[in-house]
A = this chain, B = another copy of it.
Amino acid sequence: MSNKKRDSYQTSHTILSNAKVLFSKYGFSATSMDMLAEKSNINKAMIFYYFKNKQGLYEAVLVDILKDMTNIIEKNIKDISNPKEQLESFISTYATFAYKHPYFPSILLKELSTSSAVLSDILFENMQMLYKLFSHIIQAGKEQKYFYDTNPMMLYFMIIGSLNLMITTKEIRLKAAQNSDIDTCADCDIETISQYLIKKVNILLGKDDEN
């Protein structure tokens, strides 16, 4: 009789993907399960049925997006052997993904800005995974004498810091550009941004002559 039957996957997937958007927009606390239920067109109790509690849902969201990002980057790198090109792929893949899924930089920055060592283990590990990937590329580059010696952590934060911030501040930068004459890169598109960054990173790392 009821046409409200959905398969389990469908429902939990809907919840998860709406949760991403809301958590990125409002943060953990300011996102209410009522909003989420309404946006997802499901009964509020279902959220608890699938995700145990709000915290559980939040972690599911974080793990999900981190896994997504890591997978894509890994896949794109797989067939490249040159560390320099791997790094370029890392940056442009990261940029493209983050741009297409703006909840990603928003949630990630929020999470990283709360200096708490109290992340759940599973989340902590997923965060590490992404950095490890980056770190290994740098390491390989050094060993193969492609790169100068450098601090991978700092470099990592310079890259993802600037990329994430460029994406999350798009609207503010636009507004700022309209109100004054300062250059806020207001209409730089993601391609321009990632190419610019790649160039700069190459300068910092590179032994090659072409700069």
Contact = CB atoms under 8 A, between A and B. Distances in A.
A113 B23 CA distance: 11
Given A29-B27, A131-B182, A185-B151, A114 B124 contact: no
A114 B153 CA distance: 24
A153 B29 contact: no
A108 to B, nearest CB: 8
A158 B184 CA distance: 14
A110 interface: yes
A10 interface: no
B114 A113 contact: no
A95 to B, nearest CB: 12
Contacts of A164: 113, 161
Interface string A168-183: 1111111110001011
Interface stretch (A67-75, A78-86, A195-203): A195-203
Given A30-B29, A124-B172, A153 B113 contact: no
Interface of A: 25-30, 102, 105-106, 109-110, 112-117, 119, 124, 127-128, 131-132, 135, 151-154, 157-162, 164-176, 180, 182-185, 188, 193, 196-197, 200, 203-204
